[in-house]
Amino acid sequence: MPQQRLDALLVGQLLYRLDWGRIGWLSNPASTGAAQLAIVQGSLIPGKGHNFHKHTHQEELIFVVAGRIEQWIDQEKRLLGPGDSAFMPPGVVHASFNVGDDEAKVIAIFGPCVGDGFEMIDMADEAPWKSLRG
């Protein structure tokens, strides 16, 4: 692997802090040159989550590394733990909430890449999503 590519990969791992947790790139076009998939590592604070959203042109697979996740796919809820995964086809509204007492850790894989890696449309204030978690 050329040194220049390795440097780009290390830069791509920077974490971004959000009100519900942190995310950081493991792979995206800028860090690895990948054009067909993007990979994000994420953590969710207990009691918080990545609210309802969709990726119009991308499929997504979420793999739980640690913690307990309430995973919504469309209007269906399931509980996920370490080693579990969930797949969302393009355009399907979904959300992930940490229902455990400890930080939850996930890996999310998107394909194909869109823009910097993924595109997202917030659906949290739309019906029926805004009332699902009551």
Specify the pLDDT at position 13.
57
Report the pLDDT value the prediction gives residue 133, as an integer from 0 to 100.
87
Q: Could you read off the pLDDT of 62-96 as tens digits, one per residue?
A: 999 999 999 999 999 999 999 999 999 999 999 99
pLDDT digits (tens, 9 = 90+) for 7-43: 333 444 557 888 999 998 899 888 888 989 999 999 9
Total Cβ atoms within 10 A of residue 14: 10
The tokens for 81 are: 């733990």
pLDDT at 18: 86
Comparison of pLDDT for 17 and 99, the residue scoring more: 99
Q: What is the pLDDT of residue 5?
A: 36
- According to the model, what pLDDT value does residue 2 have? 36
In the chain the domains, ranked by start, together with CATH numbers, are: 3-131 (2.60.120.10)
**32: closest CA among 53, 14, 10?**
10
The pLDDT value recorded for residue 108 is 97
Q: CB under 8 Å to 62, separation ≥6 — which residues?
A: 69, 71, 80, 85, 86, 88, 96, 106, 107, 108
pLDDT at 126 over 80: yes
